[in-house]
Amino acid sequence: MPRELRTVARHALANRDNGVNEKDALLEVGPPAHTAAPSRPRHDDGPKETIESIIVALILAFVFRAFVVEAFVIPTGSMAPTLYGAHGTILCEKCGSEFAYGLRDPDDKRRGSDVSDQAEARCPNCDHVNTNLQTNDRAGNPERGDRILVLKWPFDLGFHALDPARWDVIVFKDPSDGVTNFIKRCAGISNEVLMILDGDVYTAPTSSLSPEARSDLEEYTQKKFEFLQGTRRGRLEPPSARAFDELDKKLRICRKTRAAQDSLWHVAYDNDHPPRNPVAGQPHWMPARGGESGWDTSDYQLRFSDRGTPLDFIELQHKEIRASCAYNINSGYAPTSPFVSDQRIRFVYTPGDGDPMIRVRLMKRGRSYWAELRMDGTVKLYESPLLPGDSTPAMASAQIPPLTPGKSVEFAFENLDYRLAISFAGREILSSSSNLDSPAYYGPDVHSLRISRRDAPNANPRIFGVGGSFELSHLIVERDEHYFTDPRMASLPLLDWAPREGWGGPDSPILLRADEFFMLGDNTSASKDSRLWDVAGPHLRERGNQFQLGTVPRDQLIGRAFFVYWPSGNRLDWAPLLNKFGIIPDVGRMRWIR
């Protein structure tokens, strides 16, 4: 024991016998004031103490890393844009929006280091195809992937109460080898049935199923195992119609937590970055009545002045809101990506003269939903195929303080996971209901979603004005994350017997047993996740039918990602020896992982 600690311990014992507070005594770092300091120099065990301190510090560091928090580097873009792998950033040549595009990590020996000369990064805002991509920066390196911190101890304790929650971002071992670290979002948890329909996750607790339906799904799981082992041939047939009939009634949509949803909104069009010198076919807000319209959309601020017609509206034109990701160069946008009807529109609303009223329309699967705001503070939700009139019954209504001409308010209207909501200043004030008996009911028809693969384009948002003047600024349209299997990715390529749309698809519900989890990547069209896993490593094969392809066993979980502590650092371009390294932290992009 180091000399100082031995001295402190002796005086603590002495002081305890004299009634001195033991905690205070232990705070002392030298002999008491009434005791003379030792006169001989302390040199006998100095080096030994230093070595001991270093060893103890190293041991504590290793223990902390192994059991508490560990740092990881994101190698690929399967979680983009929540987390970036090796990437470049670009300012769009047309609109000036900044976005990231994926590159090959030169430190990853499994991949090449460059992209082809034909690579294209399509701007997620204005759809311009940028081809002047820097596969390396001026110093000769791509921006490395995000460095993250992962909390490990909750999973090490073994308590089920500390298991992953749905929508947590989790690090785990690759089921194909048990060595490589993967990172995805937890979409399915133990003891439930999961199905992906129209881009959303639906589940039903196993306990809610009848013995017959549960038996059918367990039989389907057993057949998966037999095919994987090679003891069954042909093709894996879907579960029984009886099981599907029951799932149609019991599956419920899994809405994201608010924190996770904030990470899963994708900008579809930001009017603060309109195309410079726009060409035909680029996105923009267009008045429906042309030169007769009261709308002026020529600037960043959109202005309205009533000209006497209730049908005076603007619509986002030449923009297909699809589940594409600009991070995926060469394939970030494709006609095969499905349309996304879960959308949010938000802006700053500044009323002017008169008594203006504003209505915003969002559509989903051919049905029109409206948000209405009046100067007296009346807010209403409608479902109506036509513009609502005074006699149109509202789904729901609310009252806020009356608006003041010239005073701006933040407005947002979202159609998300079969839930409509209106917010002001970031606070939700009105929403639809999932109660079948409520006039504000809004919910999915699971049977229709399951049997229909319809991907009809949805009409883009519209904004109507009447009765006065107002101005809109900072107008943004966003889309939700939409889970789908991209046809360009060979679905389960090594398994000719498996379902085409992967595990958890409309024809292949997955029964998650105890200690099994289902993982999805945020970059859904470029993520090989639970839907598409086709290989089980020997460490899992030896478990027999206790392992199910498409799941992550509980003992393969490493931890919960919670913070990006080092986004790709900035380089000193002027320093000849240091310009190859990102040594300046990009503090503005440090962030919590949601």
Please state, in angstroms and rounded to a whole number, the distance separating the CA atoms of residues 87 and 100: 6
Please state, in angstroms and rounded to a whole number, the distance separating the CA atoms of residues 518 and 531: 8
Q: Are residues 196 and 305 in the same domain?
A: no
pLDDT at 47: 72
Q: Are residues 542 and 467 in the same domain?
A: no
Residue 177 counted as domain residue: yes
Q: In this structure, what DSSP letter does residue 161 have?
A: G
Q: Are residues 446 and 299 in the same domain?
A: yes
Q: Are residues 311 and 458 in the same domain?
A: yes
Residue 213 counted as domain residue: yes
pLDDT at 276: 83
Residue 98 counted as domain residue: no
Please state, in angstroms and rounded to a whole number, the distance separating the CA atoms of residues 248 and 246: 5
Residue 493 counted as domain residue: no
Residue 116 counted as domain residue: no
Q: Are residues 62 and 10 in the same domain?
A: yes
Q: Are residues 294 and 389 in the same domain?
A: yes
479, 501, 534 - which closes a domain: 479
Total domains, the chain:
3
Nearest to 95 by CA among 333, 269, 318: 269
Residue 431 counted as domain residue: yes
Q: Are residues 229 and 299 in the same domain?
A: no
Q: In this structure, what DSSP letter does residue 273 have?
A: S
Strand partners, 172: 182, 557
> Rg of the Cα trace of the chain?
30
Residue 179 counted as domain residue: yes
For residue 67, the SS3 value is helix
**Burial of 235 by CB count in 10 Å (0-12 exposed, 13-18 middle, 19+ buried)?**
exposed
42, 67, 92 - which closes a domain: 67
Please state, in angstroms and rounded to a whole number, the distance separating the CA atoms of residues 73 and 147: 4
Question: Taking a C-beta distance cutoff of 8 angstroms, is the pair 68, 152 a contact?
Answer: yes
Residue 110 counted as domain residue: no
From first to last of its 594 residues, the chain has per-residue pLDDT tens of 444 434 433 444 344 344 333 333 323 333 444 444 444 444 455 676 777 667 766 665 555 555 578 899 998 899 999 999 888 888 898 999 999 888 866 555 544 445 566 677 889 999 998 887 765 444 445 677 899 999 998 888 878 888 999 999 999 999 999 999 999 999 999 999 999 999 999 999 999 999 999 999 999 999 999 999 889 999 999 999 999 999 999 999 999 999 999 999 999 999 999 988 777 788 999 998 877 899 999 999 999 999 888 789 999 999 999 998 989 886 545 556 899 999 999 999 999 999 999 999 999 999 999 999 999 999 999 999 999 988 999 999 999 999 999 999 999 999 999 999 999 999 999 999 999 999 999 999 999 999 986 666 678 999 999 999 999 999 999 999 999 987 666 567 778 899 988 999 999 999 999 999 999 999 998 899 999 999 999 999 999 999 999 999 999 999 999 999 988 766 666 666 666 666 777 788 899 999
Strand partners, 465: 358
Range of the domain at 55: 3-67
Q: Are residues 304 and 409 in the same domain?
A: yes
For residue 215, the SS3 value is helix
67, 101, 118 - which closes a domain: 67
Q: What is the CATH number of the domain that holds 394?
A: 2.60.120.560
Q: Are residues 346 and 460 in the same domain?
A: yes
Q: Are residues 306 and 367 in the same domain?
A: yes
Q: Are residues 237 and 294 in the same domain?
A: no
Q: Which residues contact 220 (CB under 8 A, 6 or more apart)?
A: 236, 238, 239, 243, 509, 511
Q: Are residues 361 and 448 in the same domain?
A: yes
